């Protein structure tokens, strides 16, 4: 028994043990990751569609700007920890819709509240009656004077939280663009010693203690400044929102010729029981298929078939661990890709075992037949899998171009599964067979699916 095979066995078992530990149970956190992420079709959740008001944007610039809007929305939703959500743009006859899917959030009002974070943060000052009114100033843009409201759209995306070196006071450091610097200079000059509140829509931002976030203006601010008096949690949350990017295109819906901001064009709650039903049927289909595969491999290939079954078990555990730790969002087409990749993993073993049986019938010894079987099957496995990889890349690209995100999910899971199947077929199965043959535990050719009377010129 070669020492290298023993080392490989130890590595495989250690890898399998870690993967098994990471996925059992499937909802346990590992290294800060959550359990398996399920898409909207499996977990249920909310489905929202907003129209984009692009009437003030030149037609030739709309595609580029909408791509930017999509990127900002994705970053903002991801910042909320909902990494399995999807955002896509639908374009039809010059009109643009933003489609947002938020799995796991069945409360449509909560989903719309999340979408409310897409609106611009606005700064307000108090009038003599104590009411909060927009903080405005007059700036010159391209030689034209305009009255603008100070908002987060004028912040650069480099806001950071730090501590004062001597007092350990929490500081929120920010920087304004050219327009924002003009605005802030006027407003901070006017409001010295007065509060300046931050509003999200018509609601003021509140700290973790429930009080309105309204820092006092202590100095004239131009391009750079700092906010004090915030807790560390509040400062980090405000910095996150300011750095998530700005959306210059209003989102809402058109109704009776008027644009209604922040009002969805379409909203729907996907019932989670549909997802559960899909999961159960997928598990049933996968279970039936796997059982039939295992029976076939054991009956037809015998000992190599048993080794293949063990390799497939390791393959399945490793694949689930990858899905959980990356993490990969599983949709129903993604589950289909997983099951298909399992079948392709079996196919690789079939090619290897058939080649091995041919070598045994030709009179080669067990060790030589196994090595020749793997070497001769490798080119077929490599070429077929490369073809599958190319198909997956094409599907992934088309899924993005056409907005078919389910197709992308299928392509991703199939790509990962096929890549892993090459490892298990060539490395895991080969190591197990080498150890069995090297230990001379089973030398009867019938155990390898080759009756003795079919063997020619035994060597």
Q: Helix (H, G, I), strand (E, B), or coil: what is residue 122? A: strand
Same domain? For 134 and 225 the reply is: yes
Taking the C-alpha atoms of residue 456 and residue 17, their distance in angstroms, rounded to an integer, is 43
Same domain? For 317 and 410 the reply is: yes
Same domain? For 286 and 218 the reply is: no
Same domain? For 8 and 22 the reply is: yes
Same domain? For 299 and 432 the reply is: yes
How far is residue 216 from each of residues 145, 188, 226, 295, measured CA to CA in Å?
28, 10, 11, 74
Q: Are 201 and 155 in contact (CB under 8 A)?
A: no
Whether residue 261 is contained in a domain is answered as: no
Taking the C-alpha atoms of residue 178 and residue 169, their distance in angstroms, rounded to an integer, is 29
Q: Domain holding 7: CATH number?
A: 1.20.1640.10
Radius of gyration for the alpha carbons in the chain, expressed in angstroms and rounded: 31
Q: Helix (H, G, I), strand (E, B), or coil: what is residue 105? A: coil
Whether residue 108 is contained in a domain is answered as: yes
pTM for the whole structure: 0.59
Per-residue pLDDT at 210 exceeds 70 = yes
- Mean pLDDT over the full length of the chain: 80
Query: Which of these three, 117, 144, 171, is where a domain ends?
Result: 117
Domain count, the chain: 3
Per-residue pLDDT at 218 exceeds 60 = yes
Q: Helix (H, G, I), strand (E, B), or coil: what is residue 125? A: strand
Per-residue pLDDT at 425 exceeds 60 = yes
Q: Helix (H, G, I), strand (E, B), or coil: what is residue 257? A: coil
Same domain? For 233 and 362 the reply is: no
Tokens describing residue 106: 């069945």
Q: What are phi and psi of 398, to 5 degrees?
A: -65, -40
Taking the C-alpha atoms of residue 430 and residue 304, their distance in angstroms, rounded to an integer, is 10
Same domain? For 234 and 287 the reply is: no
Q: Helix (H, G, I), strand (E, B), or coil: what is residue 456? A: coil
Taking the C-alpha atoms of residue 372 and residue 394, their distance in angstroms, rounded to an integer, is 34
Same domain? For 113 and 129 the reply is: no
Q: How many residues does the chain have?
A: 459
Query: Which of these three, 213, 246, 279, is where a domain ends?
Result: 246
Same domain? For 424 and 395 the reply is: yes
Whether the link from the prior residue into 25 is cis, omega within 30° of 0, is yes
Whether residue 161 is contained in a domain is answered as: yes
Q: Could you tell me the residue range of the domain that residue 181 belongs to?
A: 120-246
Q: What is the pLDDT of residues 343-363, one digit of tens each?
A: 788 888 888 888 888 888 877
Same domain? For 65 and 156 the reply is: no
| Burial class for 347, CB neighbours closer than 10 Å (0-12, 13-18, 19+) | middle
Q: What is the pLDDT of residues 21-79, one digit of tens each?
A: 887 765 544 444 456 667 776 777 888 889 988 887 888 888 888 888 887 777 767 65
Q: What are phi and psi of 60, to 5 degrees?
A: -70, -15
Query: Which of these three, 212, 246, 280, is where a domain ends?
Result: 246
| Total Cβ atoms within 10 A of residue 356 | 26
Same domain? For 312 and 394 the reply is: yes
Whether residue 40 is contained in a domain is answered as: no
| Total Cβ atoms within 10 A of residue 242 | 20
Which residues does residue 212 pair with via DSSP β-bridges, in sequence order? 206
Q: What is the pLDDT of residues 90-143, one digit of tens each?
A: 887 788 999 888 877 777 777 776 666 555 678 999 988 889 999 988 888 777
Whether residue 459 is contained in a domain is answered as: no
- The dihedral formed by the CA atoms of 48, 245, 141 and 185, expressed in degrees to the nearest 10: 120
Taking the C-alpha atoms of residue 50 and residue 262, their distance in angstroms, rounded to an integer, is 8
Same domain? For 277 and 410 the reply is: yes
Q: Are 449 and 300 in contact (CB under 8 A)?
A: yes
Taking the C-alpha atoms of residue 412 and residue 34, their distance in angstroms, rounded to an integer, is 19
170-175, strands of its sheet edge to edge = 160-163, 170-175, 224-227
| Burial class for 32, CB neighbours closer than 10 Å (0-12, 13-18, 19+) | exposed
Q: Domain holding 148: CATH number?
A: 3.30.1360.200
Whether residue 15 is contained in a domain is answered as: yes
Whether residue 257 is contained in a domain is answered as: no
Q: What is the pLDDT of residues 138-196, one digit of tens each?
A: 888 777 888 888 888 788 878 889 998 888 889 999 998 888 898 999 999 999 999 99
Whether residue 264 is contained in a domain is answered as: no
């Amino acid at each position: 028994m070669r020492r290298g095979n023993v080392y490989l066995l130890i590595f495989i078992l250690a890898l399998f043990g870690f993967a098994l530990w990471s996925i059992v149970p499937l909802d346990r956190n590992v290294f800060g990751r959550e359990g398996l992420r399920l898409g909207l079709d499996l977990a249920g959740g909310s489905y929202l569609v907003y129209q984009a008001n692009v009437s003030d944007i030149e037609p030739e610039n709309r595609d580029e700007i909408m791509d930017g809007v999509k990127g900002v929305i994705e970053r903002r939703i991801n910042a909320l920890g909902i990494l399995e959500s999807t955002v896509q743009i639908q374009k039809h006859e010059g009109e643009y819709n933003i489609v947002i899917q938020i799995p796991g959030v069945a409360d449509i009002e909560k989903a719309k509240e999340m979408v409310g974070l897409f609106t611009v943060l606005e700064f307000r000052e108090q009038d003599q009656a104590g009411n909060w009114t927009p903080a405005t100033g007059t700036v010159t843009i391209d030689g034209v004077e305009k009255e603008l409201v100070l908002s987060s759209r004028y912040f650069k995306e480099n806001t950071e939280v730090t501590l004062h070196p001597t007092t350990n006071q929490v500081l929120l450091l920010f920087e304004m663009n050219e327009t924002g610097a003009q605005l802030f200079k006027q407003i901070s000059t006017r409001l010295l010693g007065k509060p300046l509140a931050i509003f999200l829509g018509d609601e003021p931002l509140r700290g973790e203690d429930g009080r309105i976030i309204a820092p006092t203006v202590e100095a004239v601010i131009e391009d750079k400044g700092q906010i004090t008096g915030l807790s560390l949690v509040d400062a980090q949350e405000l910095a996150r929102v300011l750095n998530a990017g700005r959306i210059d295109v209003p989102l809402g819906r058109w109704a009776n010729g008027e644009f209604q901001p922040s009002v969805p064009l379409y909203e729907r709650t996907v019932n989670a029981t549909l997802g559960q039903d899909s999961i159960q049927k997928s598990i049933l289909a996968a279970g039936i298929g796997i059982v039939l595969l295992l029976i076939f491999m054991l009956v037809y290939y015998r000992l190599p078939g048993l080794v293949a079954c063990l390799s497939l078990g390791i393959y399945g555990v490793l694949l689930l661990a990858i899905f959980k730790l990356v993490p990969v969002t599983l949709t129903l087409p993604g589950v289909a890709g997983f099951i298909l990749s399992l079948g392709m993993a079996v196919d690789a073993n079939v090619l290897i075992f058939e080649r091995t049986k041919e070598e045994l019938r030709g009179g080669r010894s067990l060790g030589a037949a196994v090595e020749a079987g793997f070497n001769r099957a490798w080119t077929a496995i490599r070429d077929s899998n490369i073809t599958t990889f190319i198909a997956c890349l094409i599907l992934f690209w088309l899924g993005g171009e056409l907005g078919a995100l389910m197709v992308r999910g299928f392509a991703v899971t199939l790509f990962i599964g096929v890549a892993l199947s090459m490892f298990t077929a060539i490395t895991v199965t080969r190591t197990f067979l080498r150890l069995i043959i090297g230990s001379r535990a089973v030398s009867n050719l019938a155990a390898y699916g080759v009756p003795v009377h079919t063997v020619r010129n035994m060597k």
